[in-house]
Amino acid sequence: MYNLLKGKRGIIFGALDENSIAWKTAERVHEEGGTFVLTNAPIAMRMGTINQLAEKTGSQIIPADATSVADLENLVEKAMEILGGKIDFVLHSIGMSVNVRKGNHYTNQNYDFTHKGWDVSAVSFHKVMQVLYQKDAMSEWGSIVALTYMAAQRVFPDYNDMADNKAYLESIARSFGYFFGRDKKVRVNTISQSPTPTTAGQGVKGFDGFIAYADKMSPLGNATAMDCANYTVAMFSDLTKRVTLQNLYNDGGFSNMGVSQAVMETFIEE
């Protein structure tokens, strides 16, 4: 390990269980010398095993509904109190579609569900940054990262309204990132990850097909949750001080592929 985050303090949203990218990131941040608080919605905490992660990394847990500004204000204030200063890094690893969970097709959405998913998956990122910005809670040259997926740019039919949520999330990163960079010297980026078998990801219809297809398309194969954790650590470190407003692909090259030989071979008759 390289002590890339020695002395740095942060908040990690969204660790549910050991399959979570946020969970792997927390482990890697800890290994690189960073300290942090963990947070998730109370209902998610009941479903997962976040207490094990907290014990392993010597971290405290602060429950917070990321759609509630009051909860986020409490989270940020307590995090600075616990960690002993301003925040150097934040990971937003939150996404949820009620329409997907309920099996509603994209052409037949329940718009109350749509609004809920949009609020949790995208608007929560604006709320997190607005609280951090207004409380002047971020250190200069701090780093904020949100996780996204390529369905924000291309059609993946079964990804449903999550594709719209991710597109909005990426726009928020650019727009808020401008103000955070100009006013506070804080960088904001999104990482567009390969389809990854997390608990949330596996709820998407046809997810196994997503993974197999992406793996055949990508010259380096799919990026794992640990690959994403390592990339996120690099983005939190001082080695990427002037990288901001970017949507960064961590996908084995998938995003620049038209077709691969491996995929073509499945359509060629012998």
Q: Residues comprising the binding site for NAD(+)? A: 14, 20-21, 94, 166
Place of tokens 């740019």: 153
CB 90, CB 11: distance < 8 Å: yes
Catalytic residue among 2, 106, 133, 149: 149
HEC secondary structure over 159-180: HCCHHHHHHHHHHHHHHHHHHH
In this structure, the chain runs to a length of 270
Distance, in Å, from the CA atom of 14 to the CA atom of 61, rounded to the nearest integer, reads 11
Number of other residues whose CB lies within 10 A of the CB of residue 51: 11
C-alpha span between 205 and 100 (Å, rounded): 8
Is residue 131 within 8 Å of residue 76, measured between CB atoms? yes
- And the tokens for 122? 């995208």
| Catalytic pick among 106, 133, 159, 213 | 159
Q: What are phi and psi of 247, to 5 degrees?
A: -105, 110
* 149 belongs to the catalytic site: yes
- Cα 170 to Cα 189: distance, rounded to the nearest angstrom: 8
Amino acid at 130: Q
Q: Is 21 helix (H, G, I), strand (E, B) or coil?
A: helix
From the annotation, which residues make up the binding site?
14, 20-21, 94, 166
Question: What is the distance between the alpha carbons of residues 156 and 98, in angstroms, rounded to a whole number?
Answer: 17
Active site positions, annotated = 149, 159
